[in-house]
Structure 1
């Protein structure tokens, strides 16, 4: 019975097993699904007219810490969406060099899968609830402003399911059962 040889050593430019184009596109789509709402919040922050009544801007931009909430929420949201790329890139499989004692070692599958799976559930719930409340909010907004809010927030509904699909692919790709030449299970 022929046996398959273990794959070559993992380079910084190569994942342990090939990543199909659909998985790369799904991971990249998480960034695109979350970006419109983040950009919308930044536009609110800098005072771009988005069809909202002045009272709506005032309620979002509370003096003091309130001015930090919108950019922090947007930055955290995009950072978390960016981490989805780690599920299809080499840096999601090997600890980076700047982490002492872990550098160069394989990232345990569950160390990536568990947070990603929890994130997929959270993003699905967050996206659905946020879109629901945004679409049903009693805001003073013009017709084009309402269209713009919908266009910016409805894509967030796709974030959680996209993350879930990429997470399942990562898990299946990393747990095929073969071992690397250095003895690490892949």
Structure 2
């Protein structure tokens, strides 16, 4: 004869679930999309440069001179890799306004279905916002300030270049704003006290 320990009613009750995270504000969703798309124009500009499309500021041959044996294949690989890294990094901004920024999608091995560590996500996004803001603002304005321009006017190539790279100036500040919104939304859930038993 086997005996079983009586199960107390408290032992059968699962732990209380956290309340759902409130939806992101509309401005944060829009800002996340703009941040995610901010890297596309410069990526297109670089691919056009490698493929020989006249983009004004730099000539195709001048760009290829910076690669061993003027390799078009190396230049294209470099540009595509740089573009892919920038696109993936900017795309992660959308996680701050999407459900996959709160719970890891199930298709991801080992982590699927787990809650995202929001503190870690906020820290990573904050560091990323700081890094891309400093990087692009210093490179962009620093480059414009020290660039030699023999003509007093602005060439069409310079206009194309600025139009392609100027959206990168939005990436860091918008990422910072969306990170702040994400922190407020997820922190409000963690701040809710657990019900007493």
TM-score, with structure 1 as normaliser: 0.79
> Max radius of gyration: which structure?
2
* CA RMSD, 1 decimal: 2.9
TM-score, with structure 2 as normaliser: 0.75
Change (3 A) 1:112 1:180: farther
Residue of structure 2 in register with 1:156 after alignment: 168
Q: Output aligned runs, 1:1-186, within 5 Å.
A: 16-51=21-56, 52-59=58-65, 62-63=70-71, 65-135=74-144, 136-138=146-148, 143-176=155-188, 177-178=191-192
Which stretches of structure 1, 4 residues or more, deviate above 3 A after TM superposition?
6-10, 52-55, 59-62, 64-67, 136-142
Residue of structure 2 in register with 1:13 after alignment: none
Change (3 A) 1:133 1:69: farther
Change (3 A) 1:149 1:174: same
**Unpaired runs of 5+ in structure 1?**
1-5, 11-15, 182-186
Determine the C-alpha separation between the residues in 1 that align with 2:49 and 2:172. Answer: 25
Checking the alignment, whether the CA contact within 8 Å between 1:19 and 1:88 is kept in structure 2 is yes
**Unpaired runs of 5+ in structure 2?**
1-15
Determine the C-alpha separation between the residues in 2 that align with 1:43 and 1:66. Answer: 12
Number of corresponding residues:
171
